[in-house]
Structure 1
Amino acid sequence: MTPPPTVDLLIEARWIIPVEPSDTTLEHHAVAVLDGRIVDILPTADARQRYAAAETVSLTEHVLIPGLVNLHCHAAMTLMRGLADDLPLMRWLNEAIWPAETRHASTTFVRDGSLLAAAEMLRGGITTCNDMYFYPEATAEAFSRLGLRGVLGITVIEFPSQYASDADDYLSKGLATFDAWRDDPLIHFTLSPHAPYTVADKTLERVASLADELELPIHIHIHETLSEINDSLRDFGQRPISRLDQLGLLGPNLIGVHAVHLDDGDIDRLTLHNCAIAHCPTSNMKLASGAAPAARLLDRGLNVGLGTDGAASNNRLDLFREMQQASLLAKLTTGDAAALPAHRALRMATLDGARALGLDHLIGSLSPGKAADLCAVRVSDPDALPCFHPVSHLVHVLGRHDVSDVWVAGRPRVQGGRLLQITNTELLSTARLWQNRLRQ
């Protein structure tokens, strides 16, 4: 008799929501994992007979979902969490954030801040983070240490900082990091011009050329505030999205962050070029920037993922909250209770984010051949019961505190709610050190 094939890991769950196919919830199923990849999803009873597992994890009160994809973040800014609240965007930047960065930004600042951010995200079920910040090599080190899948921005801005002197210097240093890390299986890259109002035409054209040459996505803030649009009309005679179109940046590889203030022409351009949008509802509300028309963009067929933005403006890196905020905000702004249902919000936080990054062949849903980036969410507390529809619970009842286990490429990163790669003692020490430095 032929022995059953061996797998590294068999995860048995009360429910599995694979995201693909849509609106699918599997009960009493198991995921088989070999060499960091999903090889099968099948009923638990069949899995026990079909496979010999080196390790079996039984999640009898859990929902198993793909790892969440944070489509926009500034991880190192976790060190500035709550540094300045109740300010609009430009005052927040000019009076608090940019001065603090001028004084403190360094390789150590970014590595420590990114370490805190990676720990927070993994504990909250986020397995992939699309980041934009200075010193990307330090972010890569932090993400790699904790085993978070990272997409790092080759950040470009015109004005000098502690990191670089001008746009050419930013690109040169970012491309050096790209070369150093390009073969790491968990580290990916984007070209990340900060925003149309901080990057000149010549630099944007070079970014477009590099994106084609290196086959990288472009990650850029767009139309976050009305003042940004008014300034562009004054300085360039056109809206920012129109300017980006003219300079050759719009396309399927563009991830436009925020996209709050859009007119019909803006939406037509984004649709024509099949751009992706990173919707950051909590940050947009907290900075009083407005509410992005996410439901309308989805209706037009645009790919819309979810981002937390940085912890300095959110103030947490929590995609469970972003899923609920996105769903409720869409219902409120459209007057339609059916707008952005729970299953759509979950897809935005998983597969749509992966698609925007060009990684949907690898992550974002649970299917054979994809990486085993997985998140288990406990549904056992009395205040979370009864549970009639697990997808609805994920968006409207449960939260990051219910995440029990997380795997990235089949390797455990969180187990029983405990982060495996770093201690709370080290994280607390790091946070307190920087709190004292920034307070001074």
Structure 2
Amino acid sequence: MHNTTHKRTLFKNGTVLTLDKTIGDFAVADVLIEGSHIIAVGPNLSAEEALVIDASGHIVMPGFVNPHQHAWLGLLRGLMPNVETLNDYFDAIPFAIGRHYRPQDMYLATLLTSLSCLDAGITSILDAGHNSLTPEHTDAALNAFDTAGLRAIHMVGQPVGMSVKHWPGEVKRLKRPADALVNIGLFANVAEAEQWAVARESGSPILSEFGNWDGSVSPLRDLHARGLLGSDNIFNHCVRLTDDDWAILAEAGVNVTVNPRTDALFGLETEGFPYQNAIEHGLRPALGIDIDTSQGGDMFGEMHAAFVQQRTFVQRRRAAGETSVPAPVHVRAILEAATIDGARCMGLESSIGSLTPGKQADVIMIRTDGISIFPSHNAVGNVVHMANRSDVRTVMVAGQQRKHDGQLVGVDMASIRSETEAARRYLFDASGYQPHALEEAFPRLNPAN
């Protein structure tokens, strides 16, 4: 795909949200980029021979960081809007349609997810790759990220319910230099903790989906006692955990990501709200999108859900007369969870997540004159509550524009649509699914062999 590259770019006269507490925010300021890095932030900047982007009437901020999404689901977007249980999702998607994925399907799905992320202002993703049926499937996913120009860490996992010979060794084969735009990590849950050493040998992050799903004895104390928990661990969901579990995660320095929409969709959390639980134990949780088979794949929806769920959780307790109630969340904390906290979870806090000079130039510009926002008042509130993907006018990853004037750069959508339709026909025929535009309930499919 074609990239638009300039030696220097100057965002001029925008409202700048740096997400860097030492620099602060600016009602009107500029952001200067040279090559792939931010070199200055502040009012009245100038630069010779720079591409000047008029940011007046816009918010300039770091790109959203999405630390948990299954990119291979891009071909199956919106397929199950009414699904109620995790088992129904598994039966239809990983165990049935997903088993028929070819490497070219993995490529297309990951490309679609990547482009959707960029369009919505997401510049980085941690990809939970649990449909790596063969090494060729993993190669295809990495190729898709490279093509799209999205910053990504592809976490190689075994397909759900399967054992494959190439895992976990793929992490060693595919590891790239530390400063690569696209890199690799290991997707291995706590039952597979013995495999975490494979990732640690190459300095790769480790992703685990974790929750007290069935009320069994938690393995965290044993894992911590054995020295197996650390800052390279990323635990997603973290539902139905005890105070003891949370204390162990905090003591070990484990990173936590939560998925407000998915956890509600499947009823994974029944009493509390993992985002709030993490905050109360001194952790800084990040927001992940998880799946887009049932909901939109953008950070705006996730921020909406996180804000409302936290407010519902604490205000209900307040209304019940409790005297020791957590404070209602404010929009800045939610925006941090969608940017700098996600960067930290991915091990990239020193490179992305804020508009800090010296960091990579992952920058987005959001219009404030659109009908969903105008008249504009509170900049952080606009981003968290009011904006949507159509308001994202410019997206830059490592100094290269991926979206310009509201359009993805160098993307042949006609060709992608044609290839996607062919791939969907193949997958649906292979799994025995006949799609219907007015479908109320997803049919039960026979699991693939």
Normalised by the shorter chain, which TM-score bucket? 0.7 to 0.9
Unaligned runs of 5+ in 2: 1-5, 319-325, 430-449
Determine if the alignment matches structure 1 residue 341 to structure 2 residue 330. yes
Greater helix share, 1 or 2? 1
Q: Percent identical across equivalent pairs?
A: 25
Counterparts in 2 of 1:331 and 1:305: CA distance versus 1, 3 Å: same
Contact 1:387 1:393 in 2 (8 A): yes
Structure 2 distance, partners of 1:129, 1:87, is 26
Distance 1:32-1:23 versus aligned 2 partners, 3 A rule: closer
Aligned partner of residue 239 in structure 2, secondary structure: coil
**RMSD of equivalent CA atoms:** 2.2
For residue 213 of structure 1, what is the aligned residue in structure 2?
201
Shift of 1:183: 6.5
Residues 256-300 of structure 1, C-alpha deviation per residue, up to 9 Å, x if partnerless? 101121111111111111211111111111222226321231132
Partner SS for 1:132:
strand
Which stretch shows the higher mean deviation, 32-41 or 380-389?
Answer: 380-389
| CA distance 1:401–1:150, change in 2 (3 Å) | same
Structure 1 residues 170, 399: CA separation in 2 closer, same or farther (over 3 Å shift)?
same
Determine the C-alpha separation between the residues in 1 that align with 2:381 and 2:170: 44
Correspondence for 1:124: 120
**In the alignment, what sits opposite 1:31?**
31
Asked if the contact 2:370–2:391 (Cα under 8 Å) also holds between the matched residues in 1, the reply is no
1:319 maps onto 2:299 in alignment:
yes
Evaluate the alpha carbon distance shift between residue 11 and residue 105 of structure 1 in structure 2; reply closer, same or farther with a 3 A threshold. same
Equivalent position to 1:288, from 263, 267, 270: 267
Aligned pair partner of 1:139 in 138, 141, 161 = 141
Q: Deviations over 1:198-252 (max 9, x none)?
A: x4xxx42131x233322222111000xx5x333xx2xxxx224345435543212
**Which residue among 421, 431, 438 is the counterpart of 2:420?**
431
Which amino acid is the alignment partner of residue 404 of structure 2?
Answer: Q
Q: Structure 1 399/158 Cα, relative in aligned 2: closer, same or farther at 3 Å?
A: closer
- Local SS of the residue matching 2:194: helix
- Count of paired positions: 406
Structure 1, unmatched stretches of 5+, are: 1-5
What SS is found at the alignment partner of 1:60? coil
1:157-306 correspondence to structure 2 within 5 Å: 159-160=161-162, 165-166=163-164, 168-178=165-175, 181-182=176-177, 185-193=180-188, 195-196=189-190, 199=191, 203-207=192-196, 209-223=197-211, 228-230=213-215, 233=216, 238-242=217-221, 244-245=223-224, 248-290=227-269, 292-306=273-287
Measured at CA, do residues 95 and 383 of structure 1 come closer, stay the same or move farther in structure 2, by a change above 3 Å? closer
Alpha-carbon distance, 1:159 to partner:
4.7
Superposition deviation, residue 79 in structure 1? 1.2
Structure 1 residue identity aligned to 2:173: A
Asked if 1:328 is matched to 2:308, the reply is yes
Sort the Cα spacing of 1:425 and 1:182 in 2 relative to 1 into closer, same or farther, 3 A: same
Distance 1:118 1:398 in 2: 20
Structure 2 CA distance for partners of 1:229 and 1:22, relative to 1, 3 Å: farther
Q: CA deviation at 1:401?
A: 1.8
Query: Which amino acid is 2:314 matched to?
Result: T
CA distance in 2, matches of 1:292, 1:190: 27
Closer, same or farther: CA 431–132 of 1 in aligned 2, 3 Å: same
Query: Conserved in 1, the CA contact under 8 Å of 2:171 and 2:199?
Result: no
Report what 2:393 is aligned to: 404
2:110 and 2:145 in contact (8 A); partners too: yes
What amino acid does structure 2 have at the position aligned with 1:171?
A: P
Give the TM-score taking structure 1 as reference length.
0.87
Which residue does 1:3 correspond to in 2?
Answer: none
Deviations 1:348-367 (A, max 9, x none): 11111111111111000001
Assess, with a 3 A threshold, how the Cα gap between structure 1 residues 7 and 294 changes in structure 2: closer, same or farther: same
Q: CA separation in 1, counterparts of 2:174 and 2:102?
A: 15
Partner SS, residue 219 of structure 1: strand
SS at match of 2:183: strand
In 1, distance between residues paired with 2:235 and 2:74?
22
Residues 365 and 28 of structure 1, relative CA distance in 2, 3 Å threshold: same
Q: Distance in 2 between matches of 1:247 and 1:92?
A: 34
